[in-house]
Amino acid sequence: MNNLSHAQAILVSTEEYLKSDPSNVILCEGISDGFYSTIDLLSLKYPDQSYEIPCSENSMVGMALSASSYEVTTLVCLQRVEFALLAIEQLVNNSAKNSFFTDSQRNSPCLFRFVIGRGWGQGPSHSQSLETLFAQIPDINVFMPVFPNDSKLILSNFKSLHYPCISLEHRWTHYSFDTVASMDNRALSSYVVTNGKDLTVVAYSYNVLLAKAVADEFEKLNVGIEVINLFNLSQINAELIATSIAETRLLLILDLDKRSYSVSSEVLGQLALKGLLGCLTRPPKRLSNHGIYCPSSPKLSADYYLRGADIAQAACDLLDLDSYTKGTLLEKISALEQSVPSDVPNQTFSGPF
Amino acid sequence: MLRDYIDKAIKYRAIELAIAHQYANQKMRCPVHLSIGQEYWLPFLKKNIFGKVRCFSSHRSHSMYLALEGNIYSMLEELYGLQTGCLKGRGGSMHLKDLGVGLEASVPILGSSLPLALGSAFSAKHSKQHILSIAYFGDGACEEGVLHECLNYASANRLPILFICENNLYSCNTIISKRQPSDNMNRFAVAARVKTFQISSSDSFKDIDSVLSQVIASSYSAPVFLEIRSYRLYEHCGHRIDKEFGDRTLPEYNLFQNLDPISVEINRNSSSKLLFDNTFQEIVRICSIIEESI
């Protein structure tokens, strides 16, 4: 297991991508700023492969889609997911359609890194994730990395895929480190982060870190929570979830965006259609943030976001734990969460982004 | 020599009119956007391209397909939705492509294919390949922001790309004066410091040839914007003449009809008339055979 943070691992993998082939290029708004330290100095080291792009998201996304059908491979970085909304036209109208029309003679092996913001007053226009919006586009691979190895897998594999890839990168996952599970030999698919026999928690993106922290506390009281990282939203591994719930018989799903028309809806739909929910001893639960848009102020945003304590509460309810155990767990998890200000990922973070 | 290219334009007119003729039979079950009245410059595009080209069209895609000399039978079969069509029946008239001749894509969302042309040019420049990328669109696409994004980037990065804007004065049935403060499309390119050219149906074939020669020669080193002034003699989508539909007036229609260089050529030259008639009959014959088979 290496000791690189997620951000550092992206930097290393991006350099490997640029180093491996002069036709591999990177395009970024503000490329020399380092994009949250994930591409630091690469534009100086690989100036002929590094392209600054103007605030023209639709044409730049379309340009990258198209260019990757020809002599080059493209990696595009946009500072926040919301900017990619200006490029929805190209993503929907042109993403993998050329491949459809040409029997795969014109594929688009490109990668778009769109960052999801959180904290430090990001407010309602810099904090959305909108994953189901992108996952609905046919033949686009939508990944939501959590750990260093997730992004390493994406960066080292996207060139071999026929269709465009989107990596929705939660800003607060940049500080994560690999676990043993995330380093196992893996495909670009869902995987188990922590094993447990009592409750299955299905999560993705930053919520995986929240769920894992909760699972670690439950483990201390010999309550096993199995946390599954969906990771690849375009190919949800329903069989993996089914195997888990066949044992735990309890299911909790965490949405990063919203609950209706959401990832949890898709997961539950796929499991129901395959007749895999019959093993549950209680109806499944799902959680997400406590509102529609994230307010800007630290106090209001703290109330908005899903907390570890919310997950612990739902887990206790599903597990029907006694009130003493429940109280102990909630107190411990709340104390842990309150040890760091709610609007930063850790004590070392300094604003604004 | 020039004669050969005028003859090609006459053939293209005959092909489009034959398609309009057969379309009435309701067997081509896809929207068709014909370019009847706008073909006069088409043969001179390919004439002046030396080397590899990648073209990206909008919905009025028959034009570029014909200009690049795509396979006519495959095009007709595509219009009829056959498996043997150039897109195996997946795209119809609005998505025509023929990778063999360089028609890479046709996208019926006006300016949507512009970034694709930009990407082709970006890739060619990065890899130092001598390839010309062409974005082909109409005056309606100039009302979408993506044109300005593409002109801006192409200019700032001196991409080898040719923007061909065919200004037929109408978006569907709405005249340009209701949509824009000027009918000069070159003004958008001027704002992005892109070199501009213009041709119109009143120019001689010789002059059109000369301008296209300059346009293409210039496009390999920096972006170029060519405005083609033209007038569509048939309806926006379909096989009918719409002389007084929408914003059109009869005097306006008659004025442009009289200026139409292909009609003038067919009417004054018996060999042109014969060429037109033979081509028209041949396409009708092929269409009839296809129609009998489906």
Residues A58, B88: C-beta atoms closer than 8 Å: no
Residues B119, A68: C-beta atoms closer than 8 Å: yes
Residues A102, B99: C-beta atoms closer than 8 Å: yes
Residues B115, A68: C-beta atoms closer than 8 Å: no
* pLDDT at residue A186, as a whole number: 84
Mean of per-residue pLDDT scores for chain A: 95
| A·B CB contacts under 8 A | 106
Q: Which residue of B has its CA nearest to A91?
A: B112
Chain B residues whose CB is inside 8 A of the A68 CB are 119, 123
Chain B residues whose CB is inside 8 A of the A21 CB are none
Alpha-carbon A217 to chain mean position? 23
pLDDT in tens, B113-133: 999 999 999 999 999 999 999
Q: Which residue of A has its CA nearest to B150?
A: A59
Residues B129, A71: C-beta atoms closer than 8 Å: yes
Residues A72, B122: C-beta atoms closer than 8 Å: yes
Task: Please give the Cα distance from A156 to A150 (Å, whole number).
Answer: 10
Residues A66, B112: C-beta atoms closer than 8 Å: no
Residues B119, A25: C-beta atoms closer than 8 Å: no
Query: What is chain A's alpha carbon radius of gyration, rounded to the nearest angstrom?
Result: 20
pLDDT in tens, A8-47: 999 999 999 999 999 999 999 999 999 999 999 999 999 9
Establish how many alpha carbons lie within 13 A of residue A326's alpha carbon, considering only the half-sphere containing its beta carbon: 13
Q: Going residue by residue through chain B (294 aa), what tens digit of pLDDT does each one get? A: 899 999 999 999 999 999 999 999 999 999 999 999 999 999 999 999 999 999 999 999 999 999 999 999 999 999 999 999 999 999 999 999 999 999 999 999 999 999 999 999 999 999 999 999 999 999 999 999 999 999 999 999 999 999 999 999 999 999 999 999 999 999 999 999 999 999 999 999 999 999 999 999 999 999 999 999 999 999 999 999 998 889 999 999 999 999 999 999 999 999 999 999 999 999 999 999 999 999
Tell me B149's DSSP state: H
* Chain B nearest C-alpha distance from A124 (Å): 25
Region for residue A250 given its phi and psi (left: phi exceeds 0; alpha: psi -120 to 50; beta: otherwise): beta
Residues B112, A102: C-beta atoms closer than 8 Å: no
* Chain B nearest C-alpha distance from A77 (Å): 16
Q: Long-range contacts: B282-286, Cβ < 8 Å, 24+?
A: B283/B14, B283/B15, B283/B18, B283/B19, B283/B22, B283/B72, B283/B76, B284/B18, B284/B21, B284/B22, B286/B73, B286/B76
Residues with pLDDT less than 70, chain A:
1-2
Q: Please enumerate residues of B whose Cβ is less than 8 A from a Cβ of A.
A: 54, 87-88, 90-91, 95, 97, 99, 104-105, 107, 109, 112-120, 122-124, 126-127, 129, 145-146, 149-150, 152-153, 156
Question: From the list A23, A101, A106, which residue is nearest B90 (CB)?
Answer: A101
Task: Please give the Cα distance from A220 to A315 (Å, whole number).
Answer: 15
User: Is-contact A254 A211, C-beta < 8 A?
Assistant: yes
Q: Which residue of B has its CA nearest to A22?
A: B127
Confirm whether pTM is higher than 0.95: yes
Chain A residues whose CB is inside 8 A of the B129 CB are 71
Question: From the list B95, B109, B112, which residue is nearest A101 (CB)?
Answer: B95
| CA end-to-end distance (rounded Å), chain B | 41
A34-51 burial code (b ≥16 CB/10 A, e <16) = bbbebbbebbeebeebbb
Task: Please give the Cα distance from A127 to A116 (Å, whole number).
Answer: 6
B250-265 burial code (b ≥16 CB/10 A, e <16) = eeebeebeeebbbbeb
* pLDDT at residue A182, as a whole number: 80
Question: From the list B105, B107, B127, which residue is nearest A23 (CB)?
Answer: B127
* Chain A nearest C-alpha distance from B9 (Å): 28
Residues A98, B115: C-beta atoms closer than 8 Å: no
User: Is-contact B163 B135, C-beta < 8 A?
Assistant: yes
* pLDDT at residue A1, as a whole number: 55
Q: Which residue of A has its CA nearest to B120?
A: A67
Residues A63, B153: C-beta atoms closer than 8 Å: yes
Q: CB-based contacts of B185: which residues, under 8 Å, 6+ apart?
A: B139, B142, B165, B167, B225, B227
Residues A69, B119: C-beta atoms closer than 8 Å: yes
Question: From the list B115, B127, B152, which residue is nearest A66 (CB)?
Answer: B115
Selected residue of A66, A86, A110 to mutate for chain B interface (largest B Cβ count, 10 A) = A66
* Chain B nearest C-alpha distance from A71 (Å): 6
